[in-house]
Structure 1
Amino acid sequence: MSEIQFVYFDLGNILIAFDPKLASANLARITNVTEEKAWDALYASGLEDRYEHGELDGPEFAEQIRHALGVTQHVASDQVILDGISDMFTPIESMVEIVERTRRTVGRIGILSNTCEAHWDWIRRQSWGVSKLQFDVTVLSCRVGAMKPAAEIYASAADQADVPPASILFIDDKQENVDAARRHGWRAYRCLGGEEAGRTLENELNFD
């Protein structure tokens, strides 16, 4: 079995828990519409998906949201909207030690996540321990233009890791993303952040 030389962490439900209902509730409060209307504008419309695919940048996304909800920039500026839809995350702080042990054991680590710039920026601005973790490579769907489990995002991640595929370890909370990683020759496991992720990484990496 190949020695692991690089470990990729998913973001959602691995390092950070999240609740999309909070995002739509925040948007409803900001724009003075019902939560149902905010949910439809944000998720049912496909706008969030397009943003995470990189089809829209932040200002374009915010303008589309305002148009869908019938409000002006005076009511909800770009930054207010982007922060509002991002204020739905909770840190899984037990992952700080796990990530740091992984770095000490393997050397190089990265993020591989389906997310948008607003979410990533908001998380990195928080004072949480997980927000201060440093990664050698950050692969976000919005930057690649493809979302897991699409082949393109794994190809980009593999290029940036710059190690043989069999030397990459990946943990994610969705089985379809794990299966896709395995098709690319990676070692990959489905788990949740915290104790489960810790056990998985300890078993694979033989933490000291």
Structure 2
Amino acid sequence: MSDSPNASIEFCYFDLGNILVSFDESVACENLSRQTKLPIDQIRERIYASGLQQRYERGQLDDEAYADLARQALGLSIDQLSTRDFLTAISDMFSPIESMVAAVQAMRRQTGRVGILSNTCDAHWRWIRNQDWRISGVEFDVTILSYQIGWMKPDVQIYDAAEQAAGVPPERILFIDDKDENVHAARQRGWQAAQCWGGPDACAALDRYMIR
């Protein structure tokens, strides 16, 4: 399916990272390096490349379990890196894409309902929602988050949950995401979907769907 409209949109899902907020994992690694004095490459390998962060985003670990495993992987004690400091370091890497506030509001006026469909973790979600950003204050009708569902895009199960929560036919769902594999999975289900980045790119994608 192409990224051109072929049915009226009744619900729109937005991805979180690189659509509503930008992020940079290298910043998280730098934050941890400053706290622990460990090399950035070592942190990146043992937290991210190892799949540990992904387990947290799948909801397989809670905050304490994740922090405990991270400390073990880095050879640190809780006195050297508290759970709170660890979670703050890995979360303080986001920046708002405030131009998306108007895009979400325009979508709500058009369809009546909007949602978030994102691979994320508890700490990141809390961090973003607690910031004094305009985008953090936007209300969404549905939030489908990987750590709550136990599945990650492009797993079919997370799209199943999103469809059920949207409550509209698949062809009337629009999905905005920055990753090709996630957009492809949505189109395979009959959704309308566009791959883009938050900001002007996303606004242009929404224009193609004639919803701005």
Give the TM interval when normalised to the shorter protein. Answer: over 0.9
Secondary structure at 2:80's aligned position in 1? coil
Which position in structure 1 is the counterpart of 2:3? Answer: none
Contact 1:182–1:188 (8 Å) recurs in 2: yes
Root-mean-square deviation (CA, aligned residues, Å) is 1.1
Which position in structure 1 is the counterpart of 2:164? Answer: 159
Pair 1:206–1:111, CA change in 2 (3 A)? closer
Aligned residue pairs total: 207
Q: Does 1:124 align with 2:133?
A: no
- How far the C-alpha of 1:36 sits from its partner, in A, is 1.6
Give the AA of the match of 1:137.
V
- Measured in 1, the distance between the counterparts of 2:74 and 2:57 equals 20
2:21 is aligned, of 16, 20, 36, to 16
Contact 1:7–1:169 (8 Å) recurs in 2: yes
Give the AA of the match of 2:115.
G
1:109-188 to structure 2, matched below 5 A, reads 109-188=114-193
Give the AA of the match of 1:175.
D
- Measured in 2, the distance between the counterparts of 1:88 and 1:23 equals 6
TM-score, reference length from structure 2: 0.94
Q: Does 1:68 align with 2:102?
A: no
Give the AA of the match of 2:75.
G
- Measured in 1, the distance between the counterparts of 2:12 and 2:47 equals 32
Structure 1: tracts of 5 or more residues without a match: none
Contact 1:16–1:91 (8 Å) recurs in 2: yes
Which position in structure 1 is the counterpart of 2:40? Answer: 35
| Amino-acid identity (%) | 51
2:86 is aligned, of 77, 81, 86, to 81
Give the AA of the match of 2:60.
E
Q: Does 1:90 align with 2:102?
A: no
- Measured in 2, the distance between the counterparts of 1:45 and 1:144 equals 22
- How far the C-alpha of 1:32 sits from its partner, in A, is 2.4
- How far the C-alpha of 1:34 sits from its partner, in A, is 1.5
TM-score, reference length from structure 1: 0.96
Secondary structure at 2:194's aligned position in 1? strand
- Measured in 1, the distance between the counterparts of 2:81 and 2:10 equals 45
1:200 is aligned, of 191, 200, 205, to 205
2:54 is aligned, of 38, 49, 68, to 49
Give the AA of the match of 1:73.
I
- Measured in 2, the distance between the counterparts of 1:195 and 1:32 equals 38
Could you list the structure 1 runs, at least 4 aligned residues long, displaced by more than 3 angstroms after superposition. Answer: none
